[in-house]
Amino acid sequence: MKAFNIYLAGVGGQGIGLLSEILLRGADHAGLKVKGVDTHGLAQRGGVVVSQLRLGSRVYSPLIFQNEADLVVALEHHEALRGTNAALKDGGTLIYY
């Protein structure tokens, strides 16, 4: 299976870290190789939080290159714009809440 790249973005306190952990554990339970990395802005409530997840049968790095995300999930409108511009590939899916 080709790697499936997921970019999660929001601000501190919205649960990006928890969502990332749930997705990683679910993929691992399904037998996929998983890699993930979190970036915490100012490590405070309201600071930028980004998680990059890569799932598949052959995944070696957690980092998603620019415009390579298959799915961007954004929980805050500024981060939705930033994530779409920086990460989402042509034909990818944006979920904004």
Instruction: Give the integer Cα–Cα distance in Å for 7 and 68.
Output: 9
Taking only the tens place, the pLDDT of each residue in 39-80 is 776 556 678 889 999 998 888 888 999 999 999 999 988 887
Share of the chain above pLDDT 90, in %: 54
Asked if 55 and 2 count as a contact pair (C-beta separation under 8 A), the reply is: no
Report pLDDT for 42: 58
Strand partners, 51: 8, 38
The predicted model gives 83-87 an average pLDDT of 83
Instruction: Give the integer Cα–Cα distance in Å for 86 and 35.
Output: 19
Taking only the tens place, the pLDDT of each residue in 5-40 is 999 998 888 899 999 999 999 999 999 999 998 877
pTM comes to 0.88
| Amino acid at the residue 60 | Y
